[in-house]
A and B are shown apart, each in its own frame.
Chain A
Amino acid sequence: RKEVEQDPGPFNVPEGATVAFNCTYSNSASQSFFWYRQDCRKEPKLLMSVYSSGNEDGRFTAQLNRASQYISLLIRDSKLSDSATYLCVVEAAGNKLTFGGGTRVLVKP
């Protein structure tokens, strides 16, 4: 089993709709969690850090479920510009970072 797993998608989302997807992690000692966004042929960019049980930033909401070992990202009122690959990052003890394979989201008019 991979340390960090994501559904590769793509998630085809009508503009204005809500989309949510998860990231599961295997190391129960993981301490910090992050979502990055990567556009095609571009570098990853930090989207959100996930604090305690979760946090919200505008249309984006991240949640952490430690019992089930997953984090989720929810995007409300999807925009065409939200089309990207969303990478989940898990930080374990010793600052060891593991990236998920990414979930591709396509927002269509």
Chain B
Amino acid sequence: DARVTQTPRHKVTEMGQEVTMRCQPILGHNTVFWYRQTMMQGLELLAYFRNRAPLDDSGMPKDRFSAEMPDATLATLKIQPSEPRDSAVYFCASGSGSKREGEQYFGPGTRLTVT
């Protein structure tokens, strides 16, 4: 049963520290998405990759966030420096890149708490 995996599942850090979240998309999927979910804002798209190339990162705060795909099996989301307002659940999702990009498979998420 192919799944998207994310590490770490939980992260507690102090304000100002760097946070790196990792995602392994489903093998063969060529689109990867990073989302952030909070009670107040719901699910927000941060970044979107196709064939490892970034297509849309307009939802991501550029000054502190960065997203990369070093290879087809790894996507990373970094926050440096982290702030308390970054506390949220960060989801990675992958898709087959078919005509319907909305058909995505989500990982279990990284629950980030910044104190």
A9 to chain B, nearest CB (A): 14
Binds B, one of A12-20, A21-29, A42-50, A54-62: A42-50
Total number of A residues with any Cβ neighbor in B under 8 Å: 21
B45 adjacent to chain A (CB < 8 Å): yes
Q: What is the predominant secondary structure among interface residues of chain A facing chain B?
A: strand
Binds A, one of B66-74, B76-84, B100-108: B100-108
A32 adjacent to chain B (CB < 8 Å): yes
Which residues of B have CB within 8 Å of A98? 45
Measured in the bound complex, the distance between the Cα atoms of B55 and A105 in whole Å is 35
Contact A97 B45 (CB under 8 A): yes
Binding site for A on B (CB under 8 A): 33, 42-45, 48, 55-56, 91, 100-109
Binding site for B on A (CB under 8 A): 32-34, 42-46, 49, 87, 89-91, 95-102
A30 to chain B, nearest CB (A): 10
Measured in the bound complex, the distance between the Cα atoms of B100 and A90 in whole Å is 11
Q: Given A43-B106, A43-B109, A44-B106 in contact, is the A99-B42 Cβ separation under 8 Å?
A: yes
Contact A101 B42 (CB under 8 A): yes
B93 to chain A, nearest CB (A): 8
